[in-house]
Amino acid sequence: MRFNLFKSKQNKQCVAFYNIENLFDIYDDTLKHDSDFLPTADKRWTLKRYKNKLRKIGFAISNIGRKETNAHPAIIGLAEIENEAVLNDLIGSKHLAEYPYSYIHYDSKDERGIDVALLYDNKKFKVLHSEIFEFSFHEDDDIDHTRDILWVKGLFLDEEINFIVNHWPSRRTGNDETEHKRKVAATHVEMVITKIKADKPNAKVIIMGDFNDDPSNESVKQLVNGQGLVNPMETLISIDRGTTVYQGKWNLFDQIIITPNFFERKSKSLRYVKADIYDADFLKQTDGKYKGTPYRTYVGKRYKGGYSDHFPVYIILNKK
């Protein structure tokens, strides 16, 4: 029985997404607005704190989906990373160094210098193509650059799969005031999917990211309904569960959306099993007013020493 259980877990693969809350190095980049994350800044972003963050994020990543697969995740989309240097430090950190992780990353024009990236187990995934799609907004004679959309196509256990990694415009200046930006982001993702399907109509696509909108919001519904996608995460949000909290309200901004062909029963094909939020107790605030919410690295300028202000999300795929 134990052998059969282990064997069944070997067939399962975890695909995850994690907004890791401002993974900056400690060095000044004169081309980016990264001055908050320096040892001399009010936040006192020191080498010790940076290394602590790497260790903690690495530990979290290594455990996503482990209950279902008995292994580290095969694919992880990331948001809020500064550059390649922090990615190299992350995959070389204590809890990830033993795994054969590689990554795809491009520097975006985002003013704060925070990008998306795709980590992958290079024994399980072989990159065939990667590309970024830029978009920006013109406001009061200024150009507001945002994070790129990252498309990576590859062979995942010898099956061609497309990954689209997102970090849509934030709600910082208000939901109503910024909603149009996320609808534009949705339109651009639709264009990427159209491009993928023009080459291969039955392409398998996984869209992941911090959408800064819930599954019920117009931008996400536009993407899902417009492309005939399935959002397996829409049932996960509740009054006391989500991936991030704002003013006491849970949101499920972090989502993984898939094409319906992941439900097809085909031999030697990756098939959808389940979706979940990885909200293990060690990722949560343990006491006080915010007990049970994400254990953050910072609250404002106050250092808390936690992981992130978001919980990761993941899906489990099975290949028989």
- β-bridge mates for residue 60, sequence order: none
Using an 8 Å Cβ cutoff, are 318 and 271 in contact? yes
Dig out the tokens for 314 from the structure: 């993941």
Average pLDDT of the chain to the nearest whole number: 92
What average pLDDT does range 176-192 have in this prediction? 93
Instruction: Give burial (CB, 10 Å; 0-12/13-18/19+) of 260.
Output: exposed
How many other C-beta atoms lie within 10 A of the C-beta of residue 298?
18
Nearest to 209 by CA among 225, 220, 221: 220
pLDDT tens digits, 241-290: 999 998 889 999 999 999 999 999 988 899 999 999 999 999 999 988 88
Portion of the chain with pLDDT greater than 90, in percent:
77
φ, ψ of residue 200 to 5 degrees: the values are -145, 95
Nearest to 33 by CA among 113, 107, 109, 106: 113
The pLDDT score that the predictor gives to residue 3 is 44
The pLDDT score that the predictor gives to residue 42 is 87
First to last CA, the chain: 19
The pLDDT score that the predictor gives to residue 1 is 42
How far apart CA 66 and CA 72 sit, in angstroms, is: 6
How far apart CA 182 and CA 212 sit, in angstroms, is: 8
Nearest to 172 by CA among 222, 241, 246, 115: 246
C-alpha gyration radius of the chain: 19
φ, ψ of residue 153 to 5 degrees: the values are -110, 135
pLDDT classification of 176: cutoffs 50, 70, 90: confident
138 has pLDDT over 80: no
Portion of the chain with pLDDT greater than 70, in percent:
93
Using an 8 Å Cβ cutoff, are 124 and 154 in contact? no
With tokens 């500064």, the residue in question is 82
Domains and CATH numbers, the chain: 2-319 (3.60.10.10)
- β-bridge mates for residue 166, sequence order: 209
> What global pTM score does this model have?
0.94
pLDDT classification of 112: cutoffs 50, 70, 90: confident
Instruction: Tell me which long-range contacts 299-302 makes (C-beta under 8 A, separation of at least 24).
Output: 301/42, 301/43
